[in-house]
Amino acid sequence: MQQIFMPLNSATRRLPVWAVYLLGVLPFVWLVVQLFTGQLGVDPVKAIEHALGLYGLYFLVGGLAITPARKFLGLNLIKYRRAIGVLSFFYVATHLAVWLVLDIQLRWGEIWDDILKRPYITIGMLSFLALLPLALTSNNASVRKLGSQAWRNLHKLTYVAVPLGAVHYIMIVKGWQIEPLLWLGAILVLLFLRRFR
Amino acid sequence: GAAHAKGQYAVEGIDEVNSLEDITSYNNFYEFGTGKGDPAQYAHALTTDPWTVKIDGLVDNPGDYDLADILANVDIEERIYRFRCVEAWSMVIPWNGFELRQLLERAGVQSSAKYVAFETLVRPEEMHGQRSPILDWPYREGLRLDEAMNPLTLMATGLYGEDLPNQNGAPLRLVVPWKYGFKSIKSIVRITLTDTQPETSWNMQNPREYGFYSNVNPEVSHPRWSQASERKIGGFFASRQDTLMFNGYGEYVADMYADMDLSAEF
């Protein structure tokens, strides 16, 4: 199995990290293009809000997959993990910003009520708050300042934030739809795989 | 006429009428799928001619009424109403239609009748959404008799002066502007006068979230979201506005609920 990924590993060694950032913002650019060419329907705000949330989830799951991919497949993408994490936060943060500014339109009374009283929003906010310190410490200076053990412990918050994001997705759709449940299932599998050395 | 009707039922905040594209491409009509764009994509499969409406129950003149016969005996007019969805968005829609009471009077409502029940067509070969059990088909709705006889309660047959597009509930749908949109049942094939409160689809599916009355009420939250405000559909900078009690139609309808606790009977 590990041999299959050997050529891929040497190929990725040549792909610079900045290229991953560049590729990672393409979905965002595509949304903006669709917006300005009127391809998002009559309610573009909802379309953007949902798309950004989904992209955030995809990158979070991608970040979570890197360690098991190395352990079980021999695929080494570790040098892109920070980029993937930062990109996931970019999408989650813009998703939240679209909700605050374009959807609920800074009606703080209603925002506060929603955060306290609507479980899916409460859970979404908890997920965001768990990701915030990780985004803020995604730089070498923070690793040095915290020490690598403390930094690594802090970043175990992803194990909480990512499943919460999937639960937020499950709760917002009508009824029990299969896709968000599959995402939560995949996340739980990726977390479970960490138990094996 | 149109001008008369507009003046008669003027409400706050109805400035810009939504475009035909807004109204015909963003629909909840689960008979054609659960996505907002599904009805526009699939509703063309529905045959709307011939069309008959069965009127039965506590009426003097029960029977199958042909659509053309119904339309020949009512006054069609334009009504510009705000349409407030339970999902907290709204549109302003220029309907064409007639007052439901005209049809009910023709059918001869008996004095023992207290409610009106409505049913949508069941035809899974043309309405593919009906092949999955998202709701217990047929779609059912109901009104108390006084609500049904209120002059605001419209049977819509058109939009912008044209025949009603299939995705909007052709050829005949209810429009009850002070209630959440799901009360305004589409593609009606049966109207039953009854003395007991009829079963209604969303109430059957989730009674905690959807009441029989479902009057627009900014003070009663949906369990999963607030109803205090709504986004007016229409582009990227669609504004959010305060939701008004009875969707702004209180002066015409509030009397009917004077003795009720609207947070309990929501």
- The nearest alpha carbon in chain B to A174 belongs to B34
pLDDT in tens, A37-85: 988 989 999 999 999 999 999 999 999 999 999 999 889 999 999 999 9
Domain ranges of chain A: 2-193
Best of A33, A43, A50 to substitute, by most chain B Cβ atoms within 10 angstroms, is: A43
Per-residue confidence (pLDDT) for residue B1, from 0 to 100: 36
Measured in angstroms, the CA of A188 and the nearest CA of chain B are apart by 26
Beta-sheet pairing, B89-99 with B229-232 = parallel
Q: What is the mean pLDDT of residues A89-110?
A: 96
Structure tokens at A173: 């759709």
Give the DSSP letter string of chain B.
-HHHHHHHT--TT--SPPPHHHHHHS---GGG-SSTTHHHHHGGG---SS-EEEEEESBSS-EEEEHHHHHHTS--EEEEEEEE-TTSEEEEEEEEEEEHHHHHHHH-B-TT--EEEEEE---TTT-GGGGSTTS-SSPEEEEEHHHHHSTT-EEEEEETTEEPPGGGTTT-EEE-TTB-GGGS--SEEEEEEESSPPP-HHHHH-TTT--SS-B--TTS-BTTB--SEEEEPSSTTPPEEEPPGGGGTHHHHGGGGTTS-TTT--
CB contact under 8 A, A110 and B228: yes
Give the dihedral sign, CA B6/B8/B9/B10: positive
- Using a 10 angstrom Cβ sphere, with 0-12 exposed, 13-18 middle and 19 or more buried, the burial of residue B241 is middle
pLDDT for the residue numbered B48: 97
| B157 φ, ψ (degrees, to nearest 5) | -125, -5
- The C-alpha atoms of residue A91 and residue A25 are separated, in whole angstroms, by 9
Considering only the beta carbons, identify the residue of B22, B26, B231 that sits closest to A103: B231
Task: List all residues 6 or more positions away from B216 whose beta carbon is below 8 Å from its beta carbon.
Answer: B84, B178, B179, B180, B227, B243, B244, B245, B246, B247
Chain A residues with CB-CB distance to B226 below 8 A: 110, 113-114, 118
Average pLDDT over residues A102-113: 93
Q: Domain B2-257 carries which CATH code?
A: 3.90.420.10
Nearest CB neighbour to B236, from listed A44, A110, A114? A44
Q: Residue A197 carries which DSSP code?
A: -
- Contact A43/B226, CB-based, under 8 Å? no
Cα(B78)–Cα(B17) distance, rounded to whole angstroms?
13
As a whole number of angstroms, the distance between CA B221 and CA B205 comes to 18
pLDDT tens for each residue of A109-167: 999 999 998 999 999 999 999 999 999 999 999 999 999 999 999 999 999 999 999 99
User: pLDDT value at position A172?
Assistant: 86
> What is the side-by-side order of every strand in the sheet holding B188-194?
B63-66, B52-57, B188-194, B115-120, B140-144
How high is the mean pLDDT in each 10-residue block of chain B (266 residues)? 51 86 96 94 97 98 98 96 96 97 98 98 97 93 98 98 98 98 98 98 94 97 90 85 96 96 94
R_g over Cα of chain A: 18
Cα(A185)–Cα(A6) distance, integer angstroms: 29
